[in-house]
Amino acid sequence: MSTKLTSYSQGHWQEGTGKGTLLYHAVTGEELFSANSEGLDFKGMLEYSRRNGGPLLRKMTFHERARMLKALALYLNENKKDLYTLSAATGATKADSWVDIDGGIGNLFVYASKGRRELPDETFYVDGGMEKISKNGTFAGHHICVPMEGVALHINAFNFPVWGMLEKIAVNLLAGVPAIVKPATSTAYLTELTVKHIIQSGILPEGALQLICGSTGNMFEHLTCQDVVTFTGSAQTGRLLKSHPAIVENSIRFNMEADSLNCSILGEDATPDTEEFKLFIKEVTREMTSKAGQKCTAIRRTIVPESLTEAVIKALQERLKSNIIGDPAVEGVRMGPLANKGQVKDVKEKVRQLMNSCEVVYGDIDSVEVVGADSERGAFMSSMLMYCKDALKKSEPHSIEAFGPVNTVMSYKNADEAIELAKMGKGSLVGSVFTGSDSFAKQIVLGSACMHGRMVIINKECAAESTGHGSPLAHLVHGGPGRAGGGEEMGGIRGVHHYMQRTALQGSPTTLTKILNTYLPGAKTREDVIHPFRKYFEEIEVGDSLLTHKRTVTEADIVNFAGISGDYFYAHTDETSLEGSVFEKRVAHGYFIISAAAGLFVDPKKGPVLANYGLDNLRFTQPVYVGDTIQVRLTCQRKTKKENREGQIPQGVVEWYVEVTNQRGETVALETVLTLVACKE
């Protein structure tokens, strides 16, 4: 008797009313669960997220959302044991489960860190710098990004039931947008268990996350222009969803990450005696057998020099022979079954199509030897290595994807042919190059990058720390052109923008400063009798300013600074060498100018300012000569409260816009100075 999966809808768990789809243990063939979403109020789910989760998330700042993600990651990390136990039912080995479960949790950690480090402690994001669009600077432009006021609907694939969900919700939650997750039905039981942990934790605001175990019903009909849909799976299904009338009519953002014919290229220099050859063979084999080849990033096309084809095939055959297939619970098993028998049937059908233009050089499509299991009851399949003799003239290996442990070897005569073969896949998520030649790597990358979302270049120098061909990272974009779907996800903060609306603002610098809570040059400032460095973090306001006294630069200043710094650049010390240079006479060191500027604006007494935290955006715009007089305008540009830590003085970072001018009112230097400032409490 199977267990009914439940969906998390509008604040409670709900079983579907229909019979449901039966789900089986990938190893034993045992009936485990049934999934059905009939009876769910799909329109109500969308409205619930918009009414509850959305407003609660948008009230939080990026930093608060980031801390929420970190708390969730820590909670799941402490409660992942049963996730590993249930993951075995999908046919995953321990290593496969680690990628799915710990990899997914890792995405939460990455976005928690990036949110605190790279985004402001605000509910919105100030994008780029001010655009000066008027002669006198009284009318300016800027860009702002605000959260979409809809729902992120994630339709995920079966192969990564945990990672597929967590890598997506990490981004939309950080952006301030709630999510409804619809995992692929065949492995939805593992996603359901993960969501049960998340809801039980109580970390997310109510309505921030809902789950559908089954079909999405009529949900698409109720989507609006503020919603975002993401899809991971086959290109055929993705195209069908992308063309839904609601998506087209409402211009709904749709991000597709589709299975693709990824390739790996062996360099002409990587002969069997090189480390790069061995690394290549190891990686191709790993990508064939990891998750039983059921990865959207798996290597499907192995592109090798014509002179090394025989050696590559032989090496891959030897390595595949040592790959033990069976029950992942049995010691020594390196590859488990596919997710279900339906997948086995589909993969075998695709292999037969490939056999019309390729020969099988390893594996048996009709039988497989397994350890600790029944190959007939479980969803097992042999690893299949193909060889296409004339791949430049054959279309099958570049258009048919067997989503399992299947790979096709093909040969090239020169780098141009390798590039052509790489591009014949018509768009992929990832391509890799194994070579010790940086020149060859450059030629391949620049020649084929237009057809890949990510490219990995491996040699013996980086191999030990490489994350490998098939590992998307939260820091980098995941997606690709053409067949791969034409979308992007993750990519660090780039992914967050997918769930936000970028809006151009136009107005006076003072008005824009008020809206953005960031000082813009030309905006009105406020001066106080109290020096800004005498104020605690809470007392400082954006726009607080100080105009310092003046200082005249002398020849002694230049000589002394050269002696202290060791900087005897000719323009500072040798007036006889200035002919033909950009300087009229000996010029003061730029670093002396900013040091002297600090001397003008710093209040020397002990007070709330704890330390200099650094400086950004330093520019020297005019030379300063002996006899020039400088003055500084210091203005609070932005404030960021730091997270309180045990044993540390409560504090925040204050960014100061520093403009140094000369006696003619000309700007000679600009910089942003960061200070750590104590909080009052």
**Distance in angstroms between the alpha carbons of the first and the last residue of the chain:** 60
Rounded to 10 degrees, the C-alpha dihedral 556/561/566/570 comes to: -60
Nearest to 104 by CA among 7, 159, 170: 170
Provide CB contacts within 8 A for 629, sequence distance 6+: 550, 551, 552, 553, 662, 663
Q: Measured between alpha carbons, how far is 117 from 111 in angstroms, rounded to an integer?
A: 10
Query: SS3 string of 335-381?
Result: ECCCCCHHHHHHHHHHHHHHCCCCEEEECCCCCCCCECCCCCCCCCC
Tell me the CA distances in angstroms from 114 to 494, 587, 644, one per residue in order. 11, 41, 18
The C-alpha torsion from 588 through 594 and 600 to 603, rounded to 10°, is -150
Contact of 618 with 625, CB cutoff 8 Å: no
Beta bridge partners of 458: 434
How far apart, in whole angstroms, are the C-alpha atoms of residue 69 and residue 462?
31
Question: Is 296 a known active-site residue?
Answer: yes
Distance CA 618, CA 524 (A): 23
Catalytic pick among 296, 358, 388, 636: 296
- CA-to-CA separations, 287 to 113, 192, 383, 403, 411, in angstroms, rounded: 29, 27, 11, 12, 19
Long-range contacts of 14-23 (CB under 8 A, 24+ apart): 14/39, 14/40, 15/39, 16/40, 16/213, 16/214, 20/214, 21/185, 21/214, 23/185, 23/186, 23/187, 23/188, 23/189, 23/340
Residue 611 in tokens: 């330390």
The residue behind tokens 């200070």 is 675
Instruction: Compute the distance between CA of residue 521 and CA of residue 323 in angstroms, rounded to an integer.
Output: 64
Contact indicator for 397, 386 with CB cutoff of 8 Å: yes
Burial class (CB in 10 A: 0-12, 13-18, 19+), 248: exposed
d(CA 139, CA 147): 26
Q: How many residues does the chain have?
A: 681
Residue written as tokens 């109500």?
Answer: 44
Enumerate residues 6+ apart whose C-beta is below 8 A from 614.
674
Active site residue 358: no
DSSP-derived 3-state class of residue 176: coil
Nearest CA-CA partner of 275 in 464, 129, 425, 406? 464
Which 3-state string (H, E, C) describes 98-111?
HHHHHHHHHHHHHH
Active-site residue among 145, 167, 213, 257? 257
Structure tokens, 7: 């969906």
The sign of the dihedral angle between the CA atoms of 572, 574, 575, 577 is negative
- The SS3 call for residue 615 is strand
Q: Encode 145-166: b = buried (16+ Cβ within 10 Å), e = exposed.
A: bebbbbbbbbbbbbbbbbbbbb
- How many angstroms separate the CA atoms of 262 and 299, rounded? 5
Kindly list the catalytic residues: 257, 296
